[in-house]
Amino acid sequence: MSALRRFRPYPAYKDSRVEWLGEIPAHWECLALARVTESRCDGPFGSALKSEHYSYGGVRVVRLQNIGEGRFDGADAVFINEAYAKGLGDHSVRAGDLLIAGLGDEGHPVGRACVAPQGIEPAMVKADCFRFRLKSGGAMSAFVSLQLSATAHAAAVLATGATRSRMNLTAMAARKVALPPLPERRAIAAFVERETARIDALLAKKERLIELLQEKRTALINRAVTKGLDPTVPMKDSGVEWLGEIPAHWEVKPLKHVADFINGFAFKPDEWIVEGTPIIRIENLNGGENFNFTDRVLPAKYWADEGTLLFGWSGNRGTSFGPFIWWRPGRHYVNQHIFRVVDFECDSLWLYWMLRAVTFYVEKQAHGIIGMVHITRGELGSIPVPQVPRREQEQIAAHLNLQHERLDALTAKVRDAIDHLKELRTALISAAVTGKIDVREEVA
């Protein structure tokens, strides 16, 4: 990566004789993890520790989802009773221990590692998690965790399994690590901490920009749908809180007077087959191409073709709840939890944008409810919406289509920048902790 060219390599290298490490600086040592380990353990397997054993306090249980690539994820903490934990044997974890994932899948590589944070005790590892207590303590753990995570994908040759990669404790203990002298480890760790903090700050700004663009999109839709496009038009009180003032020549009616909503067919999972007519499920609304199929022949009210207006009435906030314009040609059947929007005489694109505004209103009313949002046909149909002359509908739809494309383009640029920063972060860490760049003079 061109951003790494400003860093020089080490003066001399040698072959590590480890495929995923390649050449390492000539003065570094290449050792099995077991050689630098004081003690190690894995978590209890089988039925010894399951979710039914969790309690509201006691011993913290470190699970796979807590082991990030070089970082401990403290979210979603679970505990077990201290007496029960003691009966399971010694699977203890203390601050500074090296924690390694013994199970991985796509996007979460086996062998990724992090350091147990301060204040974690009392704690223990669960099945498929390893605890290594290194001889040099937390300073060594921090460096090794970064190197293990940086080389996890390449080192997956040690793992077994097809869809999920697994590595046992013995194989993990045999995994090789490349170690510079202690002062150099500290210098590399300080460099990585400084540079990743800088990149993370930039990432936070970019993520906030994405949020601001989404807020602007929401405001544009709400204003156009409820106020129109002419700022000089006389206004009147709609008498509806979520609409506020509307143009004086508009009227307000319940949504059921604008369109009707037909729920999809209640397919049973055991009816799904691998070919036939595709079934539109919630996960397909945002473009997912993983379809189930049926050989049943259903009435036309359950059909959807390209351009059909759908409404996910039971879905995730901000993603699968709300209106969607179906995007694939050919006959599809609509599954339950999705309405077909039918019997409307208004402009279809205006109706889509108006339903987007209705969605914002419903989600706001469901404030504090995490995840899924639900609305019944009767509740949706009773929501008051503006009645707009057809020509204005078309103008509003055209305006919002244009603004939507512009904001999509801006958002795509910011997401590209986020992806680039994440790639740079990964490449920088990997290059530093495997000795591909010499950063000893980069730390003041």
- The per-residue pLDDT for range 395-410, each reduced to its tens digit, is 999 999 999 999 999 9
pTM: 0.82
Q: Closest Cα to residue 276, out of 213, 350, 333? A: 333
322 in a structural domain: yes
Number of domains in the chain: 2
15 in a structural domain: no
Domain extent at residue 100 = 31-178
Q: Let me know whether 263 and 380 are in one domain.
A: yes
Question: Alpha-carbon distance 126 to 134, whole Å?
Answer: 19
411 in a structural domain: no
The pLDDT of residue 385 is 97
pLDDT-based confidence at residue 444 (cuts at 50, 70, 90) = low
pLDDT at 22 over 60: yes
Q: Let me know whether 375 and 269 are in one domain.
A: yes
pLDDT-based confidence at residue 265 (cuts at 50, 70, 90) = very high
CA-CA-CA-CA torsion sign (334, 337, 340, 342): positive
- From 178, 200, 216, the end of a domain falls on 178
Question: Alpha-carbon distance 313 to 18, whole Å?
Answer: 54
The pLDDT of residue 140 is 85
Who has greater pLDDT, 138 or 17?
17
Q: Let me know whether 158 and 279 are in one domain.
A: no
Who has greater pLDDT, 304 or 370?
304
- From 355, 387, 419, the end of a domain falls on 387
The pLDDT of residue 402 is 97
Q: Let me know whether 380 and 278 are in one domain.
A: yes
pLDDT-based confidence at residue 429 (cuts at 50, 70, 90) = very high
Name every residue whose Cβ is closer than 8 Å to that of residue 313 and which is 6 or more positions away in sequence: 261, 263, 321, 337, 338, 339, 374, 375, 376, 377, 380
pLDDT at 28 over 60: yes
> Which range among 172-176, 286-290, 365-369 has the greatest average pLDDT?
172-176
Q: Let me know whether 157 and 286 are in one domain.
A: no
Strands 129-134 and 314-316, sheet pairing: unpaired
pLDDT-based confidence at residue 166 (cuts at 50, 70, 90) = confident
Q: Closest Cα to residue 429, out of 192, 216, 250? A: 192
48 in a structural domain: yes
CA-CA-CA-CA torsion sign (351, 353, 356, 360): negative
**Digit-coded pLDDT (tens) for 322-345:** 999 999 999 999 999 999 999 999
Q: Closest Cα to residue 313, out of 216, 383, 213? A: 383
292 in a structural domain: yes
Q: Let me know whether 173 and 270 are in one domain.
A: no
The pLDDT of residue 76 is 82
**Digit-coded pLDDT (tens) for 85-98:** 888 888 999 999 99
pLDDT at 367 over 90: no
Question: What does the pLDDT average to over 116-140?
Answer: 88
Name every residue whose Cβ is closer than 8 Å to that of residue 237 and which is 6 or more positions away in sequence: 244, 245
The pLDDT of residue 32 is 94
Q: Apex CA 198: angle with CA 192 and CA 199, to 5°?
A: 90
225 in a structural domain: no
CA dist 170 to 176, 200, 257, Å? 12, 35, 68
Residue 264 and residue 333 in contact, taking contact as beta carbons nearer than 8 Å: yes
132 in a structural domain: yes
Who has greater pLDDT, 4 or 300?
300
131 in a structural domain: yes
Number of neighbouring beta carbons within 10 Å of residue 135: 10
The CATH number of whichever domain residue 82 belongs to comes to: 3.90.220.20
- From 340, 355, 387, the end of a domain falls on 387
Who has greater pLDDT, 191 or 138?
191
Query: Which token pair is 341?
Result: 């929007």
Question: Alpha-carbon distance 246 to 90, whole Å?
Answer: 68
Q: Let me know whether 264 and 381 are in one domain.
A: yes
Name every residue whose Cβ is closer than 8 Å to that of residue 76 and which is 6 or more positions away in sequence: 65, 66
User: b/e per residue, 40-63, with b = 16+ CB within 10 A?
Assistant: bbbbbeeeebeeebeeeebbbbbb
The pLDDT of residue 91 is 92
Q: Let me know whether 146 and 255 are in one domain.
A: no
The pLDDT of residue 99 is 95
Q: Let me know whether 45 and 174 are in one domain.
A: yes
